[in-house]
Structure 1
Protein backbone atom coordinates (compact mmCIF):
# COMPACT_ATOMS: atom_id res chain seq x y z
CA UNK A 1 0.00 0.00 0.00
CA UNK A 2 1.20 3.51 0.78
CA UNK A 3 4.10 4.77 2.85
CA UNK A 4 3.16 7.34 5.49
CA UNK A 5 5.55 9.46 7.56
CA UNK A 6 3.99 10.52 10.87
CA UNK A 7 5.51 13.42 12.83
CA UNK A 8 4.18 14.17 16.31
CA UNK A 9 5.97 15.04 19.54
CA UNK A 10 3.57 12.94 21.63
CA UNK A 11 4.62 9.30 21.61
CA UNK A 12 1.10 8.07 22.42
CA UNK A 13 -0.31 9.99 19.45
CA UNK A 14 2.39 8.67 17.08
CA UNK A 15 1.65 5.13 18.22
CA UNK A 16 -2.13 5.52 17.95
CA UNK A 17 -1.98 7.04 14.47
CA UNK A 18 0.59 4.50 13.22
CA UNK A 19 -1.54 1.60 14.45
CA UNK A 20 -4.73 3.08 12.99
CA UNK A 21 -3.13 3.62 9.58
CA UNK A 22 -1.50 0.18 9.63
CA UNK A 23 -5.02 -1.31 9.96
CA UNK A 24 -5.51 -0.24 6.33
CA UNK A 25 -2.25 -1.87 5.25
CA UNK A 26 -0.09 1.25 5.08
CA UNK A 27 3.60 1.18 5.95
CA UNK A 28 4.36 3.80 8.61
CA UNK A 29 7.51 5.55 9.77
CA UNK A 30 7.40 7.89 12.77
CA UNK A 31 9.35 10.96 13.83
CA UNK A 32 9.21 12.83 17.14
CA UNK A 33 9.49 16.32 15.64
CA UNK A 34 9.69 18.18 12.36
CA UNK A 35 13.48 18.17 12.19
CA UNK A 36 13.63 14.39 12.51
CA UNK A 37 10.86 14.02 9.92
CA UNK A 38 12.71 16.27 7.48
CA UNK A 39 15.89 14.24 8.04
CA UNK A 40 13.97 11.04 7.24
CA UNK A 41 12.39 12.60 4.14
CA UNK A 42 15.77 13.80 2.92
CA UNK A 43 17.57 10.52 3.69
CA UNK A 44 14.86 8.55 1.87
CA UNK A 45 14.62 11.07 -0.98
CA UNK A 46 10.94 11.78 -0.29
CA UNK A 47 9.93 8.13 -0.79
CA UNK A 48 6.59 8.57 1.02
CA UNK A 49 3.06 8.95 -0.27
CA UNK A 50 1.85 11.03 2.67
CA UNK A 51 3.32 13.25 5.39
CA UNK A 52 1.01 13.37 8.39
CA UNK A 53 2.28 15.97 10.84
CA UNK A 54 1.20 17.70 14.00
CA UNK A 55 1.47 21.48 13.75
CA UNK A 56 2.72 22.30 17.25
CA UNK A 57 6.03 20.52 17.94
CA UNK A 58 9.39 21.53 19.39
CA UNK A 59 12.54 22.10 17.29
CA UNK A 60 10.65 22.39 13.96
CA UNK A 61 6.88 22.76 13.91
CA UNK A 62 4.60 21.12 11.39
CA UNK A 63 4.12 24.26 9.32
CA UNK A 64 7.87 24.73 8.83
CA UNK A 65 8.10 21.01 8.03
CA UNK A 66 5.23 21.24 5.53
CA UNK A 67 6.82 24.23 3.80
CA UNK A 68 10.20 22.49 3.54
CA UNK A 69 8.68 19.18 2.44
CA UNK A 70 6.51 20.86 -0.22
CA UNK A 71 9.53 22.75 -1.55
CA UNK A 72 11.84 19.72 -1.67
CA UNK A 73 9.27 17.02 -2.51
CA UNK A 74 6.41 18.68 -4.44
CA UNK A 75 4.64 15.36 -5.16
CA UNK A 76 4.30 14.54 -1.45
CA UNK A 77 0.76 14.84 -0.06
CA UNK A 78 0.64 16.62 3.30
CA UNK A 79 -2.00 16.25 6.00
CA UNK A 80 -1.77 18.42 9.14
CA UNK A 81 -3.08 17.66 12.65
CA UNK A 82 -3.71 20.07 15.51
CA UNK A 83 -5.58 20.36 18.76
CA UNK A 84 -5.40 24.16 18.82
CA UNK A 85 -7.73 26.55 17.01
CA UNK A 86 -5.02 29.20 16.53
CA UNK A 87 -2.77 26.59 14.88
CA UNK A 88 -5.60 25.66 12.52
CA UNK A 89 -5.85 29.34 11.58
CA UNK A 90 -2.07 29.45 10.93
CA UNK A 91 -2.48 26.50 8.58
CA UNK A 92 -5.43 27.97 6.69
CA UNK A 93 -3.14 29.78 4.24
CA UNK A 94 -1.35 26.51 3.39
CA UNK A 95 -4.15 25.09 1.27
CA UNK A 96 -1.86 25.16 -1.77
CA UNK A 97 0.52 22.67 -0.14
CA UNK A 98 -1.53 20.86 2.53
CA UNK A 99 -4.45 18.60 1.67
CA UNK A 100 -6.32 19.26 4.91
CA UNK A 101 -6.07 19.87 8.67
CA UNK A 102 -7.58 17.28 10.99
CA UNK A 103 -8.54 18.49 14.45
CA UNK A 104 -7.49 16.59 17.57
CA UNK A 105 -8.90 14.78 19.37
CA UNK A 106 -10.07 12.49 16.61
CA UNK A 107 -11.28 8.92 16.52
CA UNK A 108 -9.43 6.07 14.84
CA UNK A 109 -12.14 6.09 12.17
CA UNK A 110 -11.62 9.84 11.62
CA UNK A 111 -7.85 9.55 11.07
CA UNK A 112 -8.25 6.50 8.83
CA UNK A 113 -10.82 8.38 6.73
CA UNK A 114 -8.64 11.52 6.55
CA UNK A 115 -5.63 9.48 5.42
CA UNK A 116 -7.69 7.56 2.84
CA UNK A 117 -9.07 10.85 1.50
CA UNK A 118 -5.60 12.43 1.28
CA UNK A 119 -4.17 9.38 -0.50
CA UNK A 120 -7.16 9.25 -2.86
CA UNK A 121 -6.57 12.91 -3.77
CA UNK A 122 -2.93 12.05 -4.54
CA UNK A 123 -4.01 9.16 -6.78
CA UNK A 124 -6.47 11.42 -8.61
CA UNK A 125 -3.66 13.87 -9.41
CA UNK A 126 -1.43 11.22 -11.01
Structure 2
Protein backbone atom coordinates (compact mmCIF):
# COMPACT_ATOMS: atom_id res chain seq x y z
CA UNK A 1 0.00 0.00 0.00
CA UNK A 2 0.97 3.65 -0.09
CA UNK A 3 2.93 5.86 2.27
CA UNK A 4 0.86 9.00 2.92
CA UNK A 5 1.64 12.26 4.71
CA UNK A 6 -1.46 14.00 6.09
CA UNK A 7 -1.42 17.67 7.12
CA UNK A 8 -4.62 18.72 8.93
CA UNK A 9 -5.02 21.15 11.81
CA UNK A 10 -8.44 19.94 12.99
CA UNK A 11 -7.83 17.01 15.39
CA UNK A 12 -11.14 15.26 14.64
CA UNK A 13 -10.71 15.49 10.85
CA UNK A 14 -7.07 14.39 11.17
CA UNK A 15 -8.08 11.37 13.29
CA UNK A 16 -10.86 10.44 10.80
CA UNK A 17 -8.52 10.66 7.80
CA UNK A 18 -5.69 8.75 9.50
CA UNK A 19 -8.09 6.04 10.69
CA UNK A 20 -9.68 5.66 7.26
CA UNK A 21 -6.36 5.46 5.41
CA UNK A 22 -4.79 3.12 7.97
CA UNK A 23 -7.85 0.87 7.76
CA UNK A 24 -7.20 0.56 4.00
CA UNK A 25 -3.65 -0.60 4.72
CA UNK A 26 -1.75 2.62 4.02
CA UNK A 27 1.18 3.79 6.13
CA UNK A 28 0.15 7.22 7.41
CA UNK A 29 2.15 9.97 9.08
CA UNK A 30 0.08 12.93 10.26
CA UNK A 31 1.08 16.47 11.17
CA UNK A 32 -1.06 19.25 12.63
CA UNK A 33 0.13 22.07 10.39
CA UNK A 34 1.89 22.71 7.11
CA UNK A 35 5.15 23.77 8.74
CA UNK A 36 5.52 20.44 10.53
CA UNK A 37 4.49 18.58 7.38
CA UNK A 38 7.17 20.44 5.39
CA UNK A 39 9.77 19.46 7.99
CA UNK A 40 8.61 15.84 7.84
CA UNK A 41 8.67 15.58 4.05
CA UNK A 42 12.13 17.17 3.99
CA UNK A 43 13.44 14.88 6.75
CA UNK A 44 12.04 11.85 4.89
CA UNK A 45 13.55 13.11 1.60
CA UNK A 46 10.14 13.12 -0.05
CA UNK A 47 9.65 9.37 0.42
CA UNK A 48 5.85 9.49 0.33
CA UNK A 49 3.41 8.40 -2.35
CA UNK A 50 0.87 11.09 -1.48
CA UNK A 51 0.60 14.35 0.42
CA UNK A 52 -2.97 14.93 1.62
CA UNK A 53 -3.25 18.42 3.06
CA UNK A 54 -5.89 20.81 4.28
CA UNK A 55 -5.58 24.20 2.61
CA UNK A 56 -6.43 26.49 5.52
CA UNK A 57 -4.01 25.85 8.42
CA UNK A 58 -1.90 27.93 10.79
CA UNK A 59 1.87 28.34 10.44
CA UNK A 60 2.01 27.22 6.78
CA UNK A 61 -1.17 26.71 4.76
CA UNK A 62 -1.71 23.91 2.28
CA UNK A 63 -0.97 26.11 -0.73
CA UNK A 64 2.45 27.09 0.65
CA UNK A 65 3.07 23.46 1.60
CA UNK A 66 2.14 22.32 -1.92
CA UNK A 67 4.51 24.89 -3.43
CA UNK A 68 7.32 23.77 -1.10
CA UNK A 69 6.78 20.06 -1.77
CA UNK A 70 6.23 20.53 -5.50
CA UNK A 71 9.49 22.44 -5.87
CA UNK A 72 11.55 19.90 -3.93
CA UNK A 73 9.77 16.64 -4.79
CA UNK A 74 7.87 17.06 -8.08
CA UNK A 75 7.11 13.33 -8.31
CA UNK A 76 5.08 13.43 -5.07
CA UNK A 77 1.32 13.49 -5.72
CA UNK A 78 -0.49 16.27 -3.84
CA UNK A 79 -4.18 16.15 -2.94
CA UNK A 80 -5.70 19.09 -1.08
CA UNK A 81 -8.88 19.32 0.96
CA UNK A 82 -10.90 22.32 2.11
CA UNK A 83 -14.27 23.43 3.38
CA UNK A 84 -13.82 26.99 2.17
CA UNK A 85 -14.84 28.01 -1.36
CA UNK A 86 -12.30 30.85 -1.54
CA UNK A 87 -9.49 28.46 -0.59
CA UNK A 88 -10.61 26.01 -3.26
CA UNK A 89 -10.40 28.79 -5.84
CA UNK A 90 -6.84 29.59 -4.71
CA UNK A 91 -5.87 25.97 -5.34
CA UNK A 92 -7.13 26.04 -8.92
CA UNK A 93 -4.15 28.23 -9.82
CA UNK A 94 -1.96 25.26 -8.96
CA UNK A 95 -3.46 22.84 -11.46
CA UNK A 96 -0.06 21.70 -12.74
CA UNK A 97 1.17 21.06 -9.20
CA UNK A 98 -1.74 19.42 -7.38
CA UNK A 99 -3.79 16.40 -8.34
CA UNK A 100 -7.14 17.72 -7.08
CA UNK A 101 -9.07 19.33 -4.23
CA UNK A 102 -11.58 17.31 -2.22
CA UNK A 103 -14.35 19.43 -0.66
CA UNK A 104 -15.19 19.14 3.04
CA UNK A 105 -17.23 17.72 4.52
CA UNK A 106 -16.56 14.43 2.79
CA UNK A 107 -17.73 10.91 3.46
CA UNK A 108 -15.47 7.96 4.09
CA UNK A 109 -16.26 6.69 0.60
CA UNK A 110 -15.46 10.10 -0.95
CA UNK A 111 -12.10 10.24 0.81
CA UNK A 112 -11.05 6.70 -0.02
CA UNK A 113 -12.12 6.99 -3.66
CA UNK A 114 -10.26 10.26 -4.18
CA UNK A 115 -7.10 8.96 -2.48
CA UNK A 116 -7.14 5.78 -4.55
CA UNK A 117 -7.68 7.81 -7.72
CA UNK A 118 -4.82 10.15 -6.82
CA UNK A 119 -2.53 7.18 -6.17
CA UNK A 120 -3.49 5.54 -9.45
CA UNK A 121 -3.48 8.80 -11.42
CA UNK A 122 -7.09 8.47 -12.58
CA UNK A 123 -9.11 11.66 -12.10
CA UNK A 124 -12.71 11.34 -10.94
CA UNK A 125 -15.35 13.80 -9.76
CA UNK A 126 -16.21 13.36 -6.08
CA UNK A 127 -19.45 15.01 -5.06
CA UNK A 128 -20.28 14.39 -1.43
CA UNK A 129 -23.89 13.78 -0.51
CA UNK A 130 -23.26 16.01 2.49
CA UNK A 131 -23.30 19.20 0.41
CA UNK A 132 -23.47 20.65 -3.06
CA UNK A 133 -20.21 20.97 -5.04
CA UNK A 134 -18.45 24.32 -4.83
CA UNK A 135 -19.01 26.54 -7.83
TM-score by length of 1: 0.95
How many aligned residue pairs are there?
A: 122
State the superposition RMSD in angstroms. Answer: 0.9
Q: Secondary structure at the match of 2:98?
A: coil
Higher helix proportion: 1
Distance across 2 between alignment mates of 1:37 and 1:16: 18
**1:118 aligned to 2:107?**
no
Aligned to 2:58: 58
Structure 1: segments with no counterpart, 5+ residues: none
Q: Secondary structure at the match of 2:106?
A: coil
Distance across 1 between alignment mates of 2:119 and 2:10: 24
Higher relative contact order (Cα pairs below 8 Å, separated by 6+ residues)? 1
Aligned to 1:101: 101
Q: Give the superposition deviation at 1:76.
A: 0.2
Distance across 1 between alignment mates of 2:47 and 2:103: 26
Runs of 4+ in structure 1 deviating by more than 2 angstroms, as ranges, are none
